[in-house]
Amino acid sequence: MADFILALDQGTTSSRAILYDTAARPVEVAQKEFRQIFPQPGWVEHDAEEIWAAQREVMLQLLNRLQGKGTVAGIGITNQRETTVIWHRKTGKPIYHAIVWQDRRTASYCEELKKAGHENLITQKTGLLLDAYFSATKIKWLLDNVAGARKQAENGELAFGTIDSWLVWNLTGGQQHLTDVTNASRTMIYNIHTLQWDDELLDLFDIPASLLPGVRSSSEIYGNAHITDNRAIPIAGIAGDQQAALLGQMCIDNEMAKCTYGTGCFLVMNTGATPVPSTHKLLTTIAWQINNQVTYALEGSVFMGGALIQWLRDGLELFDHAADSEKHATAVEDNGGIVFVPALTGLGAPHWDASARGSVFGITRGTTKGHIARAALESIAFQVNDVLTTMAKDTGKPVHALRVDGGATANNLLMQFQADISNIPVSRPRNLETTALGAAFLAGLATGLWDMETLKTQWQEDREFTSTIDEKARNQYQQRWQKAIDRTKGWLD
Ligand code: ADP
């Protein structure tokens, strides 16, 4: 019997490896950052070979620390999604840097496609909005701009992959070219209903099918990682980061949602076996496939989460540490009538107004920095609540449990206000590293180390926040917020 699961958490700024024991407790962690490359305004690249080297290094560090203490049953991979790599099948060398999800170089091409009326078809098939985030237009850009690439692709000499594929290729010494359904569902060329690469979309984006990896479930043995000459470990789980977090939070039932409160806030709601289309520009995506069962999800995000607290700290210099926001906010009795609309980069779901800009309403001579800090924290919860309400509208069912993770969940005032304004229980787990945990769960399931019943007991709550305000107070808060949102829209001419 093996004693450990190894999770590889390949994020946007660092590659991490975490070793879990049979009770899914993290026992060893290693992390290495890699370069962010900004060749032009709006362009963001990574060196795929550097990502692999960093991932390999942290993985080897953990395996060396493990010497003699036990064996690893399997590897689970979770990764930054949408980031696009194309490499030579023969040499394994990338043809260009990886184009990162944040990269906007194909935004004007996406606008052209929108004008030509292609968005509906894309949304129907992929559940996504036509946007430069997703892999399709990045692949096209590489084929059109790297000398000789299109010809080589047509000859079957090149392979495309999201970062999971790139890692699996390297871990298996070029034996396996595959991805899982969650990563495929972020490429904008994968049909989430038929579970196949979509020929019509491949034509639209001019992408040869010979580039594409095989698409597999999120939990199965894909092949062996040959890490050192004498050690082969099965690769047994793959999921994109947000989906892995949904599983790591054990949101395995319909209408359970997780929210990660980091720089932005990322919400994902389990919608079960049915893909739910959004009429409010949320994304429909695949949560995971375990055995033959595909589970779908709705996804929405908030641009300014912890970033708003960073701005109060670094831009306004209101305090020295993000955690001080709670101290100042609890030093006042209430928000003093202040409403903060953090539209610093426009308003996202469900308002979608790129011309809105941040505003603070209700300032009087009595306003203090405590009131501003409190209103800022409340505004994070209001925005998350707007996405939750939108998810409820799209699915016709309210979210009945919210599980939270990310740096800003340390803020108890924020978590309490979230429970108050959303009127649902907000649960913060003991283990906040839910992304890596989800990848470990997938690998543990495939290798038979765990089953779903065991996993349920492995998710443990640190604290649950429930509403302390009544419906009348909730409505008052909500009306004020809505009024402030209305006055913030359309600021730029
Ligand atoms: P990311 O993964 O996006 O870098 P993290 O999950 O590490 O984000 O969380 C960091 C963010 O959380 C920062 O934007 C920071 O301002 C915010 N944050 C951290 N601690 C607190 C706190 N106690 N109260 C409010 N915000 C916080």
- What average pLDDT does range 469-490 have in this prediction? 96
- Residue 116: which residues within 8 A CB-CB, separation 6 or more? none
- In this predicted structure, what is the pLDDT of residue 229? 65
Expressed in angstroms and rounded, the spacing between residue 261 Cα and the centre of ligand 1 is: 7
Structural domains in the chain, sorted by start: 4-239 (3.30.420.40)
User: Cis peptide before 350, with omega less than 30 degrees from 0?
Assistant: yes
- In this predicted structure, what is the pLDDT of residue 227? 79
What is the C-alpha separation between 481 and 466, in angstroms, rounded? 21
What is the C-alpha separation between 254 and 271, in angstroms, rounded? 5
What is the C-alpha separation between 224 and 182, in angstroms, rounded? 21
Q: Which atom of ligand 1 is nearest to the CA of 264?
A: 3
Q: Convert the pLDDT of each residue in 224-256 to its tens digit.
A: 998 776 678 999 999 999 999 999 999 999 889
What is the C-alpha separation between 241 and 10, in angstroms, rounded? 8
Which one, of 229, 204, 242, 236, lies nearest residue 4 by Cα?
Answer: 236
> Does residue 13 carry a pLDDT above 90?
no
Q: Which of 10, 14, 309 best tests ligand 1's pocket when mutated (most atoms within 8 Å of CB)?
A: 309
Residue 1: pLDDT band (50, 70, 90) is low
SS3 198: coil
- Residue 324, phi then psi, degrees to nearest 5: -65, -20
Expressed in angstroms and rounded, the spacing between residue 262 Cα and the centre of ligand 1 is: 5
- What average pLDDT does range 314-331 have in this prediction? 95
Other beta carbons within 10 angstroms of residue 131's beta carbon come to 18
Q: Which atom of ligand 1 is nearest to the CA of 262?
A: 8
- The answer to whether the beta carbons of residues 108 and 162 sit under 8 Å apart is no
- How many residues does the structure list for the chain? 493
Please list every protein residue whose CB sits less than 6 Å from any atom of ligand 1. Answer: 262-263, 306-307, 309-310, 322-323, 325-326, 406-408, 410-411
Exposed, middle or buried, 28 (CB in 10 Å: 0-12/13-18/19+)? middle
Q: Convert the pLDDT of each residue in 250-296 to its tens digit.
A: 999 988 999 999 888 999 999 999 999 999 999 999 999 999 999 99
Nearest Cα residue to atom 13 of ligand 1? 306
Torsion of CA 310, 313, 318, 323, to 10 degrees: 80
Which one, of 331, 463, 461, 305, lies nearest residue 384 by Cα?
Answer: 305
What is the C-alpha separation between 407 and 171, in angstroms, rounded? 31
Nearest Cα residue to atom 27 of ligand 1? 408
- Report pTM: 0.93
> Does residue 211 carry a pLDDT above 60?
yes
And the tokens for 202?
């491949």
- Residue 372: which residues within 8 A CB-CB, separation 6 or more? 312, 318, 338, 340, 360
Q: Convert the pLDDT of each residue in 20-68 to its tens digit.
A: 999 999 999 999 999 989 998 889 999 999 999 999 999 999 998 888 7
Which one, of 72, 27, 32, lies nearest residue 52 by Cα?
Answer: 32
Expressed in angstroms and rounded, the spacing between residue 9 Cα and the centre of ligand 1 is: 19
Nearest Cα residue to atom 23 of ligand 1? 323
CA angle 158, 160, 162 (to 5 degrees): 155
Residue 142: pLDDT band (50, 70, 90) is very high
Q: Which of 263, 266, 378, 433 best tests ligand 1's pocket when mutated (most atoms within 8 Å of CB)?
A: 263
Out of 309-313, 377-381, 419-423, 455-459, which region has the weakest mean confidence (pLDDT)?
Answer: 455-459
> Does residue 379 carry a pLDDT above 80?
yes
User: Cis peptide before 41, with omega less than 30 degrees from 0?
Assistant: no
| 181 Cα distance to chain centroid | 15
Which one, of 125, 164, 434, lies nearest residue 277 by Cα?
Answer: 125
- What average pLDDT does range 303-308 have in this prediction? 91
Cα–Cα distances in angstroms (integers) from residue 425 to residues 16, 170, 401, 461, 465, in the given order:
31, 43, 6, 12, 6
Other beta carbons within 10 angstroms of residue 210's beta carbon come to 14
- In this predicted structure, what is the pLDDT of residue 354? 83
